[in-house]
């Protein structure tokens, strides 16, 4: 039987079994691979964010053991194996602590019953599908943001996770940085009075030239890398560097994402919603203006401004004209929060100097305020990957669960739609549809190139 056909049929069987059982007790709770021993993990995607952030962020925790890696680029696949093996060699002093298995197709990895969980550090357009298939295969998941490429596939992902009972942590690690929790708690407990305005600072991306077509590098499965998106000639500046792990060109191409509005937008919208108490809803109206390149391969938005109104009376403005971070404004003062000098990757697009102050307020006494025993206390985590591993063991909800991730990603995606349409849009966060706007609703999904895409997952 052809390998890919076998994989598809096997995952279909897993999906049928999963959806036929109302409540699933994960098999890995018992036996030699129980979370009480080691959580065996497969890494899907060995590029920049996988290497710099997710793999090392997970391996630092003793309960975790990355035992397999997957990538469509053979060079990155081999580098990923070496990274893991050398990390464990240095950590344990054992030359052969783990013999990391390599996969060039994540669907084969999902068939490995020894793997309890997977980390998905793939490009934005390859998030929802492998996460859904991993859940159907009985794996817990750490998923890099943005949660999905479209609102429709994000909704499907959240529904599947709920149905299967898997633990999915979204990689919105600002929730595990104390300043974002502190700021949200202070706002939620009225330390700046009644919240009325939130200003989110996000940069845009530069335009670029038209890059010439190039031969596909040997050992790179470019067709599968394109996945559900349309065919296009290969050029290195539209994919990822063949040497090194700098910021890849696909981040600047709308075929593969929406630019910084999703790239960093999900981080900040997620954190803003924490303070706004809108984690499970969304805005009711949106308006936006944006500049888009008129030529060249890099065609995501540049400078922009989005205005979003919420049912609770809060208005959120998002623009590159604001300092990178989140400013909550109330009737009695303001609080500003940012990452400070933290970076997730060496090639983060904003320098430390531009967002160096992690927490600030109109009055220093606001930040000194103690949250009382009977006031609102938000979920506390000290490290995003560690929280995920803890929740795999306890089966409790992680700090960044899929539904909250989907809602934050939705704000990104409908903001991007608003950039494209020169009018005020009315959004229904309950139905997740625009009101009386067929053109806008048509942009909540994309056509998918068969056989790739969430439309072709058999459930």
* pLDDT score at 356: 58
Question: CA 262 from chain center: how many Å?
Answer: 9
Confidence category of residue 8, pLDDT binned at 50, 70, 90: low
Question: Quick one: what percent of the chain has pLDDT higher than 70?
Answer: 89
* pLDDT score at 347: 46
Residue (of 455, 452, 459) closest to 225 by Cα position = 452
Whole-number Å distance between alpha carbons of 240 and 51: 14
Which CATH entry fits the domain spanning 3-173: 2.30.110.10, 3.10.450.50, 3.40.50.720, 3.40.50.920?
3.40.50.720
Q: Give the tens place of pLDDT for each residue, 174-215.
A: 999 999 999 999 999 999 999 999 999 999 998 888 999 999
* pLDDT score at 7: 46
Q: What residue has token string 């090639």?
A: 347
* pLDDT score at 340: 84
The residue-averaged pLDDT of 344-371 equals 73
Confidence category of residue 459, pLDDT binned at 50, 70, 90: confident
Q: What is the pTM of this model?
A: 0.90
Q: Which two tokens stand for residue 415?
A: 């903001």
Please, which residues bridge with residue 142 across strands?
Answer: 119, 169
How many CB atoms are located within 10 Å of the residue 400 CB? 28
Residue (of 154, 427, 433, 400) closest to 274 by Cα position = 400
Residue 345 has pLDDT above 60, yes or no: no
Confidence category of residue 24, pLDDT binned at 50, 70, 90: very low
Residue 448 has pLDDT above 50, yes or no: yes
Q: Give the tens place of pLDDT for each residue, 71-116.
A: 999 999 999 999 999 999 999 999 889 999 999 999 999 999 999 9
* pLDDT score at 201: 97
Beta strand 304-309 pairing with 39-44: unpaired
Burial 353-382 (b: 16+ CB within 10 A, else e): eebeebbbbeeeebeebeeeeeeeebeebe
* pLDDT score at 35: 43
Annotated domain spans of the chain: 3-173
* pLDDT score at 453: 97
Whole-number Å distance between alpha carbons of 402 and 25: 19
Q: For residue 146, say if its preceding peptide bond is cis, omega within 30 degrees of 0.
A: yes
262 touches 146 (CB < 8 A): yes
Confidence category of residue 26, pLDDT binned at 50, 70, 90: very low
Residue 31 has pLDDT above 80, yes or no: no
Q: Give the tens place of pLDDT for each residue, 292-323.
A: 999 999 999 999 999 999 999 999 999 999 99
Question: Mean pLDDT across the chain, nearest whole number?
Answer: 91
In this structure, what are the phi and psi dihedrals at residue 317, rounded to the nearest 5 degrees? -110, 135
* pLDDT score at 37: 84
Whole-number Å distance between alpha carbons of 440 and 290: 16
């Amino acid at each position: 039987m052809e390998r890919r056909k076998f994989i598809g049929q096997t995952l279909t069987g897993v999906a049928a079994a999963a959806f036929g059982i109302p409540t699933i007790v994960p098999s890995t709770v018992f036996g030699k691979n129980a979370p009480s021993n080691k959580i065996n993990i497969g890494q899907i995607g060995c590029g920049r964010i996988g290497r710099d952030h997710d793999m090392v962020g997970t391996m630092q925790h003793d309960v975790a053991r990355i035992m397999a890696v997957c990538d469509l680029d053979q060079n990155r696949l081999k580098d990923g194996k070496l990274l893991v093996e050398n990390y464990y060699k240095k950590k344990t002093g054992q030359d052969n602590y783990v013999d990391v298995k390599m996969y060039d197709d994540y669907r084969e990895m999902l068939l490995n019953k020894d793997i309890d969980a997977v980390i998905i550090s793939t490009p934005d357009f390859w998030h929802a599908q492998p996460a859904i298939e991993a859940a159907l295969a009985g794996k817990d998941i750490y998923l890099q943001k943005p949660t999905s490429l479209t609102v429709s596939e994000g909704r499907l992902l959240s529904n599947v996770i709920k149905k299967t009972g898997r633990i999915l942590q979204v990689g919105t690690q600002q929730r595990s940085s104390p300043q974002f929790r502190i700021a949200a708690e202070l706002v939620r407990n009225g330390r700046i009075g009644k919240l009325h305005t939130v200003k989110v600072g996000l940069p845009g991306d530069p335009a670029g030239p038209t890059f010439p077509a190039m031969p596909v590098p040997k050992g790179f499965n470019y067709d599968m890398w394109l996945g559900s998106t349309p065919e296009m000639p290969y050029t290195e500046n539209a994919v990822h560097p063949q040497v090194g792990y700098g910021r890849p060109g696909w981040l600047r191409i709308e075929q593969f994402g929406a630019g910084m509005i999703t790239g960093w937008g999900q981080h900040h919208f997620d954190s803003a919603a924490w303070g706004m108490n809108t984690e499970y809803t969304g805005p009711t109206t949106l308006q936006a203006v944006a500049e888009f390149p008129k030529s060249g391969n890099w065609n995501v938005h540049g400078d922009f401004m989005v205005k979003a109104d919420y049912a609770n009376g809060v208005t959120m403005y998002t623009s590159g004209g604001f300092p990178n971070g989140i400013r909550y404004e109330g009737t009695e003062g303001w609080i500003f929060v940012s990452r400070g000098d933290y970076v997730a990757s060496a090639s983060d697009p904003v320098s430390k100097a531009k967002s160096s102050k992690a927490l600030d307020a109109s009055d220093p006494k606001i930040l000194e305020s103690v949250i009382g025993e009977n006031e609102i206390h938000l979920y506390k985590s000290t490290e995003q990957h560690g929280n995920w591993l803890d929740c795999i063991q306890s089966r409790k909800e992680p700090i960044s669960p899929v539904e909250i991730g989907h809602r934050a990603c939705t704000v990104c995606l409908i903001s991007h739609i608003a950039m494209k349409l020169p009018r005020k849009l009315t959004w229904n966060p309950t139905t997740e549809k625009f009101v009386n706007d067929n053109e806008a609703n048509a942009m909540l999904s994309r056509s998918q190139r068969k056989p790739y895409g969430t439309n072709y997952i058999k459930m």
